[in-house]
C-alpha cells in the first residue's frame, strides 16, 4: 500500500519565487504528450491538475482503510472518520481559522450556493425583498438566485460592470439598500480575472442588515483568504480547483446562521433522534451532510491543502502576478488579440480571456490543442457577462503554480501559427 508521504514533496519554500521545476515533478500528468507536443495546461480555472500525494491518498483510502464514516466502531471506520474529519479541520484552518462546525462539505461550489438558496433563501427572502448580485457571476451564483427571485417575488438587482472589467460601484447606495436581504458576488471573476473589493461590499451590506455570500471558487485556490477578516456570512469554493479531487465542495457559514438554517436533504447521518412520527437534527455540520459522503475524495483533499500550505498562498499569488504580467505583456504584442478585464495586473487573478479578431474562439482553441496547449473556449458559464463584452465566446488561458513563462511563449507561438493557418495561410 502506498502511504501519503508529506516529505516526498519537492517543494522549496525558501525562495521568494516558486520552485516551479520541482513543483512540476509532483504532477505526473504534466509529462503527457498531446498531439505530439508536451502538454501546456492553461485551463486551471476549470480544474487544476493533481499532485501525486493527492492521487496516492485516494488509493491509500481504498487500499488501506475503506469504511463508512461516523457510524462504525471498528478500526477501519474510525480511521476513515478521523481522516475525513482531519480534512475538515484543515479546511477550517485554511480560510482563516474558523470553527470546524462552520465547514459543511458538499459536492462543489455550485451545490454550496444551492444549499444556501434552498435553505436560508427560502426561509428568509420574501416578496419585495431585494437580492443583489453582479453582472460578472458564474451561472452557479446566478441561476439559483434567478429561481429564488421568481419563486418568492423578490427583486433581483445587479451591480453593473464598467468598460474596464471592474464592478461599477458609483450607484452602489441605490443598489444595496435596507430592502436588500442578501448580496452574493464572486471574489474573483472566472472570465475577466477581476478581484472584487469584497470587504468594502460586505461592510456596506452589513450596514443595511443584509447578509453576504462570497463565491470563492476562483479566489481560495489562488490567494490568501481569511473569511473572518472579510466578515463574510457565507463563503463557498470547490476542492478540484485547488489541487484536490472532484466531488468535494465547501460551504463556510457563520455558526449562528447555520444554526438557524433547516437542512434540505434528509436521511441518515444528519439526525439526532428519529421516531416513527418525529425527527430532529444532528449538531453542526452533520445536519447538512445527509447520507454517505464522498469519503475518498474528502480524505484526498487534505494533501492538496498541505501542498498549498507548504508553498504558501502569498507565494502562489506572487507567482500568478508574475506569470499573468508576462502573459498580458506578450499577448498585448499581438495586434489581432483583444484582451478582456482590468489592465492593472494587481486587480486580477491568473486568468486571461481574449479573442482573435478573425478566428472564432472554438476554432482557435482546437488549433491550440493541436499544438498541445489546453485553454478553454466558450461563455465560461457566464453567458450574460460574455454577451455584455460584445462577443459570444472567448478563449481563456488560466494559470496555476506549475505554469511557466515558457508555456506562455508556447501559447503565443501557437496563436501566431493559428493566424498563419486560418488567416494568412
Contact pick of 251, 375, 381, 397 for ligand 7TS (by CB under 6 A): 381
Angle, vertex CA 214, rays to CA 208 and CA 217, nearest 5:
170
Q: Which of 118, 218, 393, 404 binds ligand 7TS (CB under 6 A)?
A: 218
Report the residue from 50, 90, 130, 138 that binds ligand 7TS according to the rule CB under 6 A.
Answer: 138
Minimum CB separation from ligand 7TS for residue 423, in Å? 27
Instruction: Please confirm whether the linkage preceding 285 is cis (ω < 30° from 0).
Output: yes
Q: Does 46 bind ligand 7TS (CB under 6 A)?
A: yes
Q: Is 45 in the site for ligand 7TS (CB under 6 A)?
A: yes
Interaction pattern, residues 238-277, with ligand 7TS; x per rule: CB under 6 A: x---------------------------------------
412 catalytic residue (yes or no):
no
> Closest CB to ligand 7TS among 81 and 110?
110
Member of 53, 118, 152, 186 binding ligand 7TS (CB under 6 A):
186
Residue with cell 463565491: 215
Question: Least distance from C-beta 399 to ligand 7TS, angstroms?
Answer: 13
Rounded CA-CA distance 400/220 in Å is 12
The residues in 187-206 that bind ligand 7TS, with binding defined as CB under 6 A, are 190
Closer to ligand 7TS by CB, 208 or 392: give it. 392
Q: Is 380 in the site for ligand 7TS (CB under 6 A)?
A: yes
How near is the Cβ of 50 to ligand 7TS at its closest, in Å? Answer: 15
* Pairs from 93-99 (Cβ < 8 Å, separation ≥ 24): 94/220, 94/305, 94/308, 94/309, 95/216, 95/220, 95/225, 95/226, 95/227, 95/235, 95/252, 96/225, 96/226, 96/227, 96/228, 96/229, 97/226, 97/228, 98/227, 98/228, 98/252, 99/255
* Interaction between residue 42 and ligand 7TS (CB under 6 A): no
Contacts of ligand 7TS in 80-119 (CB under 6 A): 108-110
CA distance 153 to 155: 7
DSSP annotation of 176: S
Q: What is the DSSP letter of 136?
A: T
Q: Which of 138, 134, 130 is nearest to 196 (CA)?
A: 134
DSSP classification of residue 344? S
Instruction: Name which position in 148, 176, 184, 217 contacts ligand 7TS (CB under 6 A).
Output: 217
Report yes or no: 96 and 226 within 8 Å, Cβ to Cβ.
Answer: yes
Q: State CA 17 to chain mean position distance.
A: 23
Asked whether the beta carbons of 8 and 56 are under 8 A apart, the reply is no
Residue placing its CB nearer to ligand 7TS in the complex, 185 or 408: 185
- Cβ-Cβ contacts under 8 Å for 344 (sequence gap 6 or more): none
Min separation Cβ 192 and ligand 7TS, Å:
11
Given the residues 84, 300, 331, 381, select the one marked as catalytic.
381
Nearest distance in Å: CB 139, ligand 7TS: 8
User: What is the helix, strand, coil percentage profile of the chain, to 5?
Assistant: 45, 20, 40
Q: Does 176 bind ligand 7TS (CB under 6 A)?
A: no
Tell me how many residues contact ligand 7TS (CB under 6 A). 17
**DSSP H helical ranges for 121-240:** 122-124, 143-152, 172-175, 198-207, 227-230
State yes or no: residue 44 binds ligand 7TS (CB under 6 A). Answer: no
Name the residue nearer to ligand 7TS (CB basis): 139 or 338.
139
Nearest approach, Cβ of 246 to ligand 7TS (angstroms)? Answer: 8
The residue ranges that bind ligand 7TS (CB under 6 A) are 45-46, 108-110, 138, 140-141, 186, 190, 215, 217-218, 238, 376, 380-381
Active site residues: 381
Amino acid at each position: 500500500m502506498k502511504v501519503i508521504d508529506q516529505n516526498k514533496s519537492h517543494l522549496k519554500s525558501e525562495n521568494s519565487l516558486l520552485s516551479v521545476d520541482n513543483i512540476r515533478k509532483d504532477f505526473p500528468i504534466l509529462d503527457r504528450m498531446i498531439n505530439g507536443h508536451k502538454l501546456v495546461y492553461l485551463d486551471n480555472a476549470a480544474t487544476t491538475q493533481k499532485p501525486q500525494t493527492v492521487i496516492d491518498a485516494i488509493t491509500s483510502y481504498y487500499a488501506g482503510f475503506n469504511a463508512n464514516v461516523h457510524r462504525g466502531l471498528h478500526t477501519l471506520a474510525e480511521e476513515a472518520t478521523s481522516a475525513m474529519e482531519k480534512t475538515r479541520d484543515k479546511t477550517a484552518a485554511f480560510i482563516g481559522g474558523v470553527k470546524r462546525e462552520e465547514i459543511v462539505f458538499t459536492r462543489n461550489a455550485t451545490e454550496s450556493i444551492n444549499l444556501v438558496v434552498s435553505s436560508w433563501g427560502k426561509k428568509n427572502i420574501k416578496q419585495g425583498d431585494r437580492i443583489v448580485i453582479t453582472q460578472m457571476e458564474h451561472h452557479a451564483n446566478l441561476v439559483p438566485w434567478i429561481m429564488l427571485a421568481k419563486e418568492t417575488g423578490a427583486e433581483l438587482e445587479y451591480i453593473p460592470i464598467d468598460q474596464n472589467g471592474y464592478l461599477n460601484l458609483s450607484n452602489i447606495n441605490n443598489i444595496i439598500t435596507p430592502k436588500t436581504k442578501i448580496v452574493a458576488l464572486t471574489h474573483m471573476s472566472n472570465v475577466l480575472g477581476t478581484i472584487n473589493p469584497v470587504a468594502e461590499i460586505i461592510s456596506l451590506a452589513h450596514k443595511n442588515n443584509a447578509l453576504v455570500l462570497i463565491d470563492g471558487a476562483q479566489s481560495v485556490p489562488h490567494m490568501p483568504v481569511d473569511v473572518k477578516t472579510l466578515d463574510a456570512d457565507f463563503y463557498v469554493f470547490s476542492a478540484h480547483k485547488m489541487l484536490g479531487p472532484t466531488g468535494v465542495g465547501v460551504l463556510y457559514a457563520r455558526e449562528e446562521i447555520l444554526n438557524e438554517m433547516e437542512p434540505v436533504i434528509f436521511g441518515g447521518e444528519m439526525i439526532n433522534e428519529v421516531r416513527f412520527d418525529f425527527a430532529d437534527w444532528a449538531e453542526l455540520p452533520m445536519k447538512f451532510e445527509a447520507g454517505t459522503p464522498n469519503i475518498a475524495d474528502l480524505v484526498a483533499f487534505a494533501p492538496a491543502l498541505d501542498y498549498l500550505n507548504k508553498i504558501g498562498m502569498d507565494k502562489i499569488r506572487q507567482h500568478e502576478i508574475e506569470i499573468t504580467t508576462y502573459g498580458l505583456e506578450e499577448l498585448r504584442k499581438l495586434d489581432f488579440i483583444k484582451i478582456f478585464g482590468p489592465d492593472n495586473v494587481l486587480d486580477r487573478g491568473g486568468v486571461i480571456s481574449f479573442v482573435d479578431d478573425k478566428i472564432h474562439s472554438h476554432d482557435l482553441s482546437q488549433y491550440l490543442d493541436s499544438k498541445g496547449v489546453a485553454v478553454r473556449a466558450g461563455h465560461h458559464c457566464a453567458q450574460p457577462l460574455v454577451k455584455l463584452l460584445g462577443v459570444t465566446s472567448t478563449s481563456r488561458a488560466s494559470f496555476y503554480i506549475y505554469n511557466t513563462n515558457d508555456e506562455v511563449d508556447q501559447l503565443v507561438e501557437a496563436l501566431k501559427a493559428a493566424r498563419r493557418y486560418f488567416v494568412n495561410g
